[in-house]
């Protein structure tokens, strides 16, 4: 953000008194970035072994024991792992190592990394809307999708921002239709459903260790399976489909998707801390829940049988009483209406004071790359890939689309102090008053 724009925001009366003398946060408050770096021993082992894969093996063993999945295959990214998951699923249900011409049901609210690999294999993504409580794949919409396309045999579901949804019901529906469930647990490492760890709930599951994930190796991913022969197939694919021969014998398309030992060392160095990381993240989440005025905005809710990893808590600004925010494909604007706010207004205010926030995923059904695909909502089938239409920017059909205009991710960085978090909350509250309203007067009446 330009300095003069930041100054203009900071000088609004509604933010008065949060910081002294027109200041902001001393150091940038990040969305999530915390990193344990006690991986020196693993790092030395990796280097001592000429980066020959020994630490990767250790990591695979550790993760498969932790999750309780018999086989874990480390890769260079979660996207690679998703790609291999689709390809493996295609082999299992179609006997072909490609999705060519086949439909895949995929949650609409997910990062592009989940949906894009369907296109690598020439598949046809069909986006499934999310429910309005967990913001994960809505089982009712999935049922409807199977009614429309009963031949579909592959389903991909994620756990949004580390907060799992109705995966048990989704799994049951998949079984009913003899479809394979790919569980994308990229954001939910350590989260549980019915006391079972995510990553153990799909027929094939995927983990991710990307730069901002709860456990990171800079980049990295993993595929989990219960089937030895499937694990061996994937291991061959990710190593250029080389056969175990003295020369480089290759008889099929392969990929260079292997992880490297240094990433594995980094990840191992953090795995020991997973419980304390989740406990600290939970505290950040609870502080938001307890202190954010529910009449203005509220945090994603959790259910009794679900224990999230609280990776990136997100908030709904559901008090919109009017169209306060409009987005085009490349730009946005918002109106300053007393009592309401919008994700981008809050993101801008945070930015001005030196904190990061982010709108939630742009729904897959709105990505231009998926033009011609479909979104199945509870009462409609909508065309995907149609550019943003400013006139339709509020009250969109589709829960995921609606969420993209009303929700935003709050900072949950473990480096954030409780003092800083309380200031973050004050900024949120102040956003709901008019730019020319004094904050103290506003807080006194609301």
Ligand X SMILES: *Cc1c(COP(=O)(O)O)cnc(C)c1O
Q: Where do contacts with ligand X occur on this chain (CB under 6 A)? A: 77-79, 82, 110-111, 113-114, 158, 184, 186-187, 208, 210, 219, 221
Burial of 398 (0-12, 13-18, 19+ CB in 10 A): buried
Shortest reach from residue 220's CB to ligand X, in Å:
7
For ligand X, the nearest residue by Cβ is 78
Shortest reach from residue 185's CB to ligand X, in Å:
8
- Pick between residue 24 and residue 221 the one whose CB is nearest to ligand X: 221
Shortest reach from residue 409's CB to ligand X, in Å:
12
- Pick between residue 69 and residue 185 the one whose CB is nearest to ligand X: 185
Q: How far is CA 134 from CA 313, 387, 399, 411, in A?
A: 12, 26, 11, 19
- Pick between residue 259 and residue 317 the one whose CB is nearest to ligand X: 259
Total residue length of the chain: 446
- Pick between residue 219 and residue 317 the one whose CB is nearest to ligand X: 219
- Pick between residue 114 and residue 393 the one whose CB is nearest to ligand X: 114
- Pick between residue 64 and residue 136 the one whose CB is nearest to ligand X: 136
Shortest reach from residue 312's CB to ligand X, in Å:
9
- Pick between residue 79 and residue 421 the one whose CB is nearest to ligand X: 79
Shortest reach from residue 211's CB to ligand X, in Å:
8
β-sheet bridge partners, residue 246: none
Shortest reach from residue 159's CB to ligand X, in Å:
8
- Pick between residue 207 and residue 292 the one whose CB is nearest to ligand X: 207
Cα–Cα distance measured from residue 167 to residue 184, given in angstroms and rounded to the nearest whole number: 11
Shortest reach from residue 82's CB to ligand X, in Å:
6
* Cβ atoms of 132 and 271 closer than 8 Å: no
Shortest reach from residue 114's CB to ligand X, in Å:
5
* Cβ atoms of 313 and 285 closer than 8 Å: yes
- Pick between residue 74 and residue 145 the one whose CB is nearest to ligand X: 74
Shortest reach from residue 79's CB to ligand X, in Å:
3
């Amino acid at each position: 953000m330009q300095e003069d724009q930041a100054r203009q925001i900071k000088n609004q009366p509604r933010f008065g008194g949060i910081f002294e003398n027109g200041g902001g946060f001393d150091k940038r408050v990040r969305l999530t970035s915390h990193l344990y770096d006690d991986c020196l021993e693993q790092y030395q082992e990796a280097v001592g072994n000429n980066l020959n894969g020994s630490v990767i093996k250790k990591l695979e063993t550790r993760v498969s024991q932790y999750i309780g999945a018999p086989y874990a295959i480390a890769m260079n990214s979660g996207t690679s792992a998703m790609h291999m998951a689709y390809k493996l699923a295609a082999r299992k249900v179609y006997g072909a190592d490609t999705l060519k011409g086949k439909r895949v049901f995929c949650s609409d609210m997910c990062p592009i990394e989940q949906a894009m690999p369907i296109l690598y294999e020439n598949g046809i993504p069909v986006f499934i809307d999310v429910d309005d409580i967990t913001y994960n794949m809505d089982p009712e919409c999935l049922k409807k999708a199977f009614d429309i396309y009963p031949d579909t045999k592959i389903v991909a579901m994620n756990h949004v921002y580390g907060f799992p949804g109705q995966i048990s019901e989704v799994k049951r529906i998949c079984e009913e239709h003899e479809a394979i469930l790919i569980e994308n647990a990229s954001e939910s490492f350590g989260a549980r459903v019915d006391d079972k760890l995510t990553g153990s709930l799909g027929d094939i599951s995927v983990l991710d260790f990307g730069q901002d994930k709860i456990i990171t190796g800079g980049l990295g991913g993993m595929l989990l399976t219960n089937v030895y022969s499937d694990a061996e197939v994937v291991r061959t694919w990710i190593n250029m489909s080389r056969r175990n021969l003295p020369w480089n014998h290759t008889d099929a398309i392969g990929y260079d998707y292997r992880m490297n030992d240094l990433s594995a060392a980094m990840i191992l160095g953090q795995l020991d801390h997973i419980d304390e990381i989740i406990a600290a993240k939970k505290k950040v989440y609870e502080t938001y829940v307890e202190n954010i005025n529910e009449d203005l905005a509220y945090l994603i809710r959790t259910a009794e049988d679900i224990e999230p990893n609280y990776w990136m808590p997100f908030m709904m600004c559901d008090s919109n009483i009017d169209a306060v925010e409009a987005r085009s494909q490349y730009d946005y604007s918002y109106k300053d209406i007393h009592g309401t706010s919008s994700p981008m207004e809050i993101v801008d205010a945070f930015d001005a004071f030196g904190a990061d926030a982010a709108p939630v995923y742009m729904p897959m059904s709105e990505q231009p790359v998926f033009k011609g695909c479909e979104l199945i909502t509870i009462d409609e089938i909508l065309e995907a890939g149609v550019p943003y239409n400013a006139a339709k920017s509020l009250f969109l059909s589709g829960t995921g689309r609606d969420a993209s205009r009303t929700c935003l991710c709050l900072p949950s960085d473990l480096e954030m102090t409780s003092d800083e978090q309380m200031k973050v909350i004050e900024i949120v509250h102040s956003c709901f008053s008019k730019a020319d309203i004094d904050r103290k007067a506003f807080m006194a009446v609301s």
